[in-house]
Chains A and B, each alone.
Chain A
Amino acid sequence: MNNHHNNNVVKKAKECYFCINNLEPDYKDTKSLRRFINFYQKIIGAGRTGTCVWHQRKLTLAIKRSRKMALLAFTHK
């Protein structure tokens, strides 16, 4: 659907998953990391997930480490 048309209108302030749960992104915790990647295995933007700047940076690093270790895939097959 034409969701991306409404993106800036619909945008809602969500709270950061890591701040709320008092967690830090960990490359070994694929269960948590999977919340932040889409069907195509791409990292979802912080705006959509509500992740704060601090944790988004740590999150991308964790996802990259996780991919290196073959715990997460690089792309959707």
Chain B
Amino acid sequence: MKVNALLPLIEAENLTPGVDLDKEVLCGYSCDLLSWVMKNGQEGMAWVTVQTHMNVIAVAVLAEMACVILPEGIDMEPDVLKKAEEEGLCVMKTKLSSYEICGRMHKAGVADKDA
């Protein structure tokens, strides 16, 4: 599934209009502990997190993730979004919970990490 197909699936809004949404989502993950994500992050990952500071972008970019998903209507500061856009990383937000987001991605065939 491409990032642009993930947006409607989880009723999300793209917060980084300038970035390429044609990237392939290869797996999904949900975690808010950054070292844990560093350990498990993979290329093409769609990462659900409630963290919104600058290091979220650093972790996602280092792992070459496909996108960051903010659940439950959480917002991200403009300077952090600007950094994401500079790095070509898609950040999206949705009203859905992490549980519901992962459930929908799983049902749509997005794999677990290492799968």
B is a partner of A? no
Residues of B within 8 A of A (CB): none
